[in-house]
Structure 1
Amino acid sequence: MAPDELADPLAFLTEAEVEIEGRMPWSSNATFLTTLRCDGPDGAIEQQAIYKPVRGERPLWDFEPGLHKRERAMFLLSEHLGLGLVPPTVIRDGPLGEGSLQWFVPADHSEHYFTIYETRGHLHDRLREMAVLDIIANNTDRKSGHCLLQPGADDDPSLDRVWAIDNGLCFAAPYKVRTVIWEFAGDTIDDDVLARAATLLDDVPAEIAELLDDDEVVAMQHRATKLVTERALPAEDGDYHHYPWPLV
């Protein structure tokens, strides 16, 4: 099920019963696949979601505990910018305590950023927008595998969607973007995207700001200001770019 098939996917994520199906492999923090169930007007609704409880986080030297708040803040920022790149995400109590709960995307896991970039040119604009989102959010961990492809219905490429997941390592105050999305460095940013980014310069929505420290909010505004002023994606230091590890 796609999020837009429900009138209010956030309410569903917040109110549905949560059953843990199992732990997701290869995750550095405890990450669980869950099934959500809730009665709807036309019968029972069932949907999978990704659950990341706070108690399952490994200590980090550069981020305080509570990465679930950053997952939620990234969703809210994507929505505020009108990008729709992050699956619906809420904070709620679950079977293992408070954490983030994110809509599960039925993606083609043989695809990731590098394959999407090479073979699906019609999605390049969306990838540029993901780069904008990651710069404003100061994403330190945009691996290739954190960019999911949801193929269009009936194999229609025009209905393909790209999603940005695993967004917990974002919004630090010091600038330290680490991403695989550098092919668009120096590209001019779309005017509509710049206009939406400009709304952050004077005021960050309260529902985002309350999830972050004050200095992180100010730093986000500085990054947005730089993008709006320069009107192009940063090229970093000459030919040197900052990449996460592993790349995929």
Structure 2
Amino acid sequence: MNVEDIPQILTTLQTGKMTLRGQFVHGSNYTFLASIVQADREYPAVYKPVRGEQPLWDFPAGSLSGREVAAFLVSQALGWQLVPPTVYRRKAPLGPGSVQFYIEHNPEYHYFSFTPEDKQRLRPVALFDLVVNNADRKGGHILVDENQHLWLIDHGICFHVEDKLRTVIWDFAGEPIPPDLLADLTRLLNELERAGDLVEQLKPYLSPAEIRALERRTRRLVENGCFPHPAASRRPYPWPPV
């Protein structure tokens, strides 16, 4: 997938004809593999209908699909292209939900089987999860496609106003954030502070308090300039870890 293909992919995910091809059975929420066709284009996609979301005590009901879209928007704003193209689609076979471009990958190759070289590529991933407050970064949620591009999936429980970060990636704790990544974070912070286009795009999916919390987390990273250590006051790892 090239960057220039993303607008076309988003349009097709949003308006193309969707056909369900199967169901992913390992997960808490109902998730389906679909194909989406428009004109001469056909894309595989992951469809997560709102009606298939299991209730959570700490996240508003029916909000997980929107958080998937918000994660894509933040990834794009950072310029890191970590989250596959994702839209919120109202007209779909099982009702409204998120629709994400499906990434072909080897499911046996994940964080716990990565080469040392691939683990060194995860600094943007660790920073992204800190920014979006990812409560469930399992090792299997990091994919590598045939072009060796890193992709991140499953962001339904992100953006909470309270600290919920649970991740397997603590490899860089205490290290300074590389200057190029710090510059990207600073640009994101400026965009959030001026309440520009990104904030308007996030409003349908996140509450005002969640958007303000996103800004605070980004500012904290920029001001501290380093990767934090795991919180000692609570469990900082997801379960199961893969």
2:49 corresponding residue in structure 1: 53
Structure-2 separation of matches of 1:197 and 1:165: 20
Equivalent of 1:215 in 183, 205, 209 = 209
Deviates further, 60-69 or 234-243: 234-243
**AA of the residue aligned to 1:195:** A
Instruction: Name the Cα RMSD after superposition.
Output: 1.9
Equivalences for residues 63-212 of structure 1 within 5 A: 63-64=59-60, 65-92=62-89, 93-116=91-114, 119-122=115-118, 124-125=120-121, 127-152=122-147, 160-199=148-187, 200-201=189-190, 202-204=193-195, 205=198, 206-212=200-206
- The Cα of 1:198 is off from its aligned counterpart by 1.9
Q: Tell me: CA distance 1:237–1:99, structure 2 relative to 1, closer, same or farther (3 Å).
A: closer
Q: Tell me: CA distance 1:215–1:108, structure 2 relative to 1, closer, same or farther (3 Å).
A: same
Structure-2 separation of matches of 1:124 and 1:67: 30
Q: Secondary structure at the match of 1:18?
A: strand
**AA of the residue aligned to 1:242:** P
Deviation per CA, 1:127-159: give whole Å up to 9, x if none: 11011010010000000111111133xxxxxxx
Does the alignment pair 1:245 with 2:239? yes
Structure-2 separation of matches of 1:124 and 1:14: 35
Q: Tell me: CA distance 1:168–1:45, structure 2 relative to 1, closer, same or farther (3 Å).
A: same
Q: Tell me: CA distance 1:60–1:168, structure 2 relative to 1, closer, same or farther (3 Å).
A: same
Does the alignment pair 1:16 with 2:12? no
**AA of the residue aligned to 1:100:** S
**Does the 8 Å contact 1:182/1:241 carry over to 2?**
no
Deviation per CA, 1:67-97: give whole Å up to 9, x if none: 1110000000000001100000001121011
Deviation per CA, 1:198-246: give whole Å up to 9, x if none: 2325135220244211111111111111100111111134698600100
1:227 corresponding residue in structure 2: 221
Structure-1 separation of matches of 2:95 and 2:214: 29
1:33 corresponding residue in structure 2: 33
Structure-1 separation of matches of 2:30 and 2:209: 28
TM-score, normalised relative to structure 1: 0.88
Deviation per CA, 1:143-180: give whole Å up to 9, x if none: 0111111133xxxxxxx111100011100000120000
Give aligned-pair identity as a percent.
Answer: 40
Q: Secondary structure at the match of 1:8?
A: helix
Q: Secondary structure at the match of 1:177?
A: coil
**Does the 8 Å contact 2:34/2:46 carry over to 1?**
yes
> What are structure 1's unaligned runs of at least 5 residues?
153-159
Structure 1 residue ranges, 4+ long, deviating more than 3 angstroms after superposition: 3-7, 237-241
TM-score, normalised relative to structure 2: 0.90
Structure-2 separation of matches of 1:74 and 1:247: 21
Q: Secondary structure at the match of 2:43?
A: strand
Count of residue pairs brought into register by the alignment: 233
**Does the 8 Å contact 1:186/1:232 carry over to 2?**
yes
> What are structure 2's unaligned runs of at least 5 residues?
none
1:157 corresponding residue in structure 2: none
